[in-house]
Amino acid sequence: MAGHAPDEAHCQRGLEHIVDAQTRPVRPGYLKYALRILAWPALIAGLYFLAALAGSLIGVNTNWREGDTGVQIFVETNGVHTALVLPKRAAGHDWSALVSASHLRDPSLTGDHLSFSWGHRQFYLETQSWGDIKASTLTGVILGSDETLIHVYHLTRVQEGPYLRALIITDEQYQQLVKLIEDKFLFNANGGQPAPIPGYGNHDIFYEATGRYTIINTCNTWTGDMLAAIGVRVGAWTPLAGGVMRWFPENSKTVRQ
């Protein structure tokens, strides 16, 4: 038996219901709920940046003054990330055994200075440029990780400038700094050197490291903590690059012609 044809008035009412559902405004309650959900991350981020600013403004080793003789090192930044630049040979120490030129893709590119930084393994290896950032990588950084790396650049013709601030430390402080950096390398169970991991280009290299990366203990915190540990004046907590660099202004005594 053939079915009855749909009632035209009924179909019209159904269509009006669909249109009404599509054009119905969002209820104020739903909007407030959504705004509250979005507000919490913004509030947490804001508090984090305020705490980072406060922590970097509170100095440690405030009586430290740079000497006229000793070892010249550099604090380096790209605006987001910081590093320590050390001479390859100074104060009786030679980095060549641990950070060998043979680890580079092109050993001829080794120089007279080395740039050391520490950070999150996944972020380092998956984010060569800011265009490479992925949501999964950022999530890993926020959650933290025990998998960390030391990043080393072999540098030549190091010159002071806006992104490379110089300071002089004593031989004893330099030797302490060397020991602190060496202790961040993850040596194998037999005390053997960590295997190098290819870097971004021909003159940089990665090494397995110790320490847990968190949003509290960042790459920039590492730089600040290294300097604080040897008695240099720096911020008490420096999770952001600016918090480190503010203590080494470009026009200070540390910048020489």
- DSSP characters over the chain: -PPPPPPHHHHHHHHHHHHHHHHPPPPHHHHHHHHHHHHHHHHHHHHHHHHHHHHHHSEESTT----SSSEEEEEEESSS-EEEEEESEETTEETTTTS-GGGSSSGGG--SEEEEEEEEHHHHHH-SSGGG--HHHHHHHHH-BS-EEEEEEEESS---BTTEEEEEE-HHHHHHHHHHHHTTB---TTSPPPPEEE-SSSSEEEEEE-S-B-SSS-HHHHHHHHHHHTT--EES---SHHHHHTTS-TTSTT---
Residue 188 lies in a domain: yes
Q: What is the mean pLDDT of residues 192-215?
A: 94
Structure tokens belonging to residue 148: 């960390």
User: How many structural domains is the chain composed of?
Assistant: 1
Rounded (5°) CA angle 72-73-77:
145
Structure tokens belonging to residue 26: 């969002």
213 — pLDDT class (breaks 50, 70, 90): very high
Q: What is the mean pLDDT of residues 226-233?
A: 98
Residue 67 lies in a domain: yes
Predicted confidence (pLDDT) per residue in 107-133, tens digit:
999 999 999 999 999 999 988 776 787
Residue 68 lies in a domain: yes
What's the pLDDT at 255? 36
Structure tokens belonging to residue 162: 């806006």
- For residue 230, the enclosing domain spans 58-245
What's the pLDDT at 172? 97
Residue 26 lies in a domain: no
What's the pLDDT at 42? 77
CA distance 227 to 247: 11
Q: What is the mean pLDDT of residues 223-247?
A: 97
Residue 86 has pLDDT above 60, yes or no: yes
Residue 15 lies in a domain: no
Residue 194 lies in a domain: yes
- Between these two residues, 111 and 138, which has the higher pLDDT value? 111
What's the pLDDT at 131? 77
Q: What is the mean pLDDT of the chain?
A: 86
What's the pLDDT at 135? 83
- Between these two residues, 212 and 45, which has the higher pLDDT value? 212
